[in-house]
Homo-oligomer: A and B are copies of this chain.
Amino acid sequence: MARTQGSHSDITGPRIRKAALGLFARHGYAAVSMRQIAAEVGVQAGALYNYTPDKQSLLFHLMHEHMQELLSAYGELTQPENAFEALHQFVRFHIRFHLERPDEVFIAYMELRNLTPENFSEIEALRRKYEDALEAILRKGQGAALFDIADTKVATLAVIAMLNGVMTWYRAGGRLSLDEVEQNYWDMVRRSVSA
């Protein structure tokens, strides 16, 4: 056999990335074989190499694309002048964006150690950019006496860590609606930094 009926790179390509995303998220990069990914797509392992030079690149591109989307989606928001409102927007954006992409988020955090050093640096730089956006808000609010924060760097990481926690338990259709979850976290974040 050889080329199969209906095969097209516009279809197979995305299907490979989607299958890899799901499998990496569920079982971890190291525990997933190229043959498993291929099987989920309905193709032989060799065919994957028309779409990625190797397994590492497949992981890297998934993570890179996710971080790019995160930054560009946040960048498209118009930043309120008021730091308080900017923080509120950040909290809402972060929760919503991340809850919409559980697999991507999971991978972007859990599989960092499976990146080659160069790839790791690149992803890390993007994550740093995002953190810096939050820190800028906290600094600004601190300057305007809206916030009372001992250490903005610590506060930045603490806020992001708290918000990321929502991923471990929230499921659509659960006890709380998304709006309620947002409200809950905003209440806590707001009070944790407010003057």
Which A residues have a C-beta under 8 Å from some C-beta of B? 26-28, 30-31, 110, 113-114, 150-151, 154-155, 157-162, 164-166, 168-169, 176, 180-181, 183-185, 187-189, 191-194
Contacts and interface: CB of A to CB of B under 8 A. Distances in A.
Contacts of A181: 154
Contacts of A176: 151, 154
Given A30-B31, A154-B185, A157-B166, 20 more contacts: A27-B30, A28-B30, A31-B114, A110-B110, A150-B183, A151-B180, A151-B184, A157-B165, A157-B169, A158-B162, A158-B166, A158-B184, A159-B162, A161-B161, A161-B164, A161-B165, A162-B162, A188-B192, A188-B193, A191-B192
Contacts of A194: 191
Given A110-B110, A184-B150, A191-B192, A165 B160 contact: yes
Nearest to A25: B113
A154 B193 CA distance: 18
Contact of A184 (B28, B154, B162, B165): B154
Contacts of A183: 150
Nearest to A193: B188
A185 B157 CA distance: 11
A150 B192 contact: no
Contact of A158 (B151, B165, B193): B165
A110 to B, nearest CB: 6
